[in-house]
Amino acid sequence: MDKLKTGINQASGWLLYLSLLMLLALALPRTVFDPESKDFLLLIGVVGIWRYSMGALHFLRGCLFLYLVYPHYRRKVRKLGSAADPSHVFLLVTSFRIDALTTAMVYRSVVREAIDCGYPTTVVCSIVELSDELLIKDIWSQLAPPAQVTLDFVRIPGTGKRDGLAHGFRAISRQMPDSNAVVAVIDGDTVLGEGVVRKTVPWFKLFPNVGGLTTNEFCEVRGSYVMSEWHKLRFAQRHLNMCSMALSKRVLTMTGRMSVFRASVVTDPEFIADVESDHLDHWRLGRFQFLTGDDKSSWYSLMRLGYDTFYVPDAAINTVEHPPEKSFIKASRKLMFRWYGNNLRQNSRALRLGVRRLGAFTSVVLFDQRVSMWTSLLGLCVAIIASVKYSIAFILVYLLWIGITRLVLTLLLSLSGHHIGPAYPLILYYNQIVGALVKIYVFFRLDQQSWTRQNTTLDRGLASFTRWFNTWSSRAMTFSATSVFIATLLALV
């Protein structure tokens, strides 16, 4: 009954969206649809050539990897058989301020995977609170793992995820794992899919230079319908982008929800230092520690140390998402601020590694991340200026263009194997515009960081004049850059 109700709601949503597109098209003059006319609809899309070409390239590369290259690799892995088995598997789970129900789901899935994978396995629990330890021990006694599966606790102060990871890595180092051991780093709100360990660990044997790999994500959102669809859309886009970058073995983040590393990587003192105390020396804001973004720090460390990165699309995990606010607008802005800040803090120094280390395509993608905050706003700004200066029809044509192109993008996302819904076209455009505005804001305030779940922020202990200078110089640069952007468009239009 629930499935029937969901299906009816989905069909109604798609029908409403298509009806609005048709009404918008009927409101426009016929010349908009005449290829011989200067008002032809597709002409407004010229400003997006760069963005659409990058999107199309990612889509084609992602499909090539997902449907041709990866199945070929998987056949090669199967031929290796037991030769690809690791000597030992460490499952490192970090938990802090997560509700007991989610914690129980997570650790039950982790312990079951430790039992079912068949490898000698150690579950390493990096925790803060005694209640988590008691809960984990209770789950452990219920599932009664065999002797080859062991449990290790690492108790730390609640000083952040980076410290939790570093303490866990050092605990694994003390066990002196050999070169064939692997370490899975799992977030405290990640429920492992069945067989995820056996699907991920053999790739290190097939690709000797891969230092870390990450997995496909699905989510269960404890929030509104729009928030749920927003997260699901993000994971569908992530899946295709990960596949695209995996074609070059340059996946751009070692997702904190679940990534797997060689034990020789996570026991390397340089790697541990990169994750624990990563920082940036900024020409205007000075030196500041990274509070969030451990997944980007681990990726950058792997690139700097000379490793490749990979993605396993059929190894699935399920995350339990708790929005930081009840309001979709507030929650999405908070999450974008954290994600895009992590991205931009790593971007410039990653580009400095050079084309020889990163490869041409990866360098172009990193460059696109820097300019997309402006190119994403270009079409809307031009349409608004043209509507004010010439005719309101320009904004209507632009809205029709956006409606059609986002519908096409949504249908293409269905090839990722992730759910799509009628809200996706609108959410895609919301992400484009609001995401670009958040990127511009955070680009000039890279030192501002905060966790959403713990509600903690970075306190640098700066002198009052330094704080004043950083605040007002950030505002001045934001105003100057925005003014130059708008003035350029006014001159062109």
List the pLDDT tens digit at each of the 493 positions of the chain: 666 667 777 777 788 888 887 787 777 666 655 555 555 454 445 556 677 788 889 999 999 999 999 999 999 999 999 999 999 999 999 988 788 898 999 999 999 999 999 999 999 999 988 889 999 999 999 999 999 999 999 988 877 788 889 999 999 999 999 999 999 999 999 999 999 999 999 999 999 999 999 999 998 888 888 999 999 999 999 999 999 999 999 999 998 789 999 999 999 999 999 999 988 888 888 888 888 888 999 999 999 999 999 999 999 999 988 888 889 999 999 999 999 999 999 888 899 999 999 999 999 999 998 888 998 898 888 888 888 888 887 888 888 888 988 998 888 888 777 778 888 999 999 999 999 999 999 999 998 887 666 555 666 667 788 888 989 999 999 999 999 999 988 887 6
What pLDDT, on a 0 to 100 scale, did the predictor assign at position 458? 62
What pLDDT, on a 0 to 100 scale, did the predictor assign at position 460? 63
Q: How far apart are the first and last CA of the chain?
A: 54
Task: State how far Cα 342 lies from the chain centre.
Answer: 10
What pLDDT, on a 0 to 100 scale, did the predictor assign at position 2? 63
What pLDDT, on a 0 to 100 scale, did the predictor assign at position 40? 47
Rg (CA), the chain: 24
What pLDDT, on a 0 to 100 scale, did the predictor assign at position 492? 74
What pLDDT, on a 0 to 100 scale, did the predictor assign at position 18? 80
What pLDDT, on a 0 to 100 scale, did the predictor assign at position 324? 87
What is 306-323 written as a DSSP string? Answer: T-EEEEEEEEEEEEEE--
Question: What is the third-level CATH fold of 76-349?
Answer: Spore Coat Polysaccharide Biosynthesis Protein SpsA; Chain A (3.90.550)
What pLDDT, on a 0 to 100 scale, did the predictor assign at position 185? 96
Where do runs of H (alpha helix) occur along 247-293?
Answer: 263-266, 269-276
Instruction: Give the tens place of pLDDT for each residue, 228-254.
Output: 999 999 999 999 999 999 999 999 999
Using alpha carbons, list the distances in angstroms from residue 423 to 6, 237, 379, 409, 410.
13, 15, 21, 12, 9
Give yes or no for a contact between 389 and 493, defined as CB atoms under 8 angstroms apart.
yes
Domain ranges of the chain: 13-52+369-492, 76-349
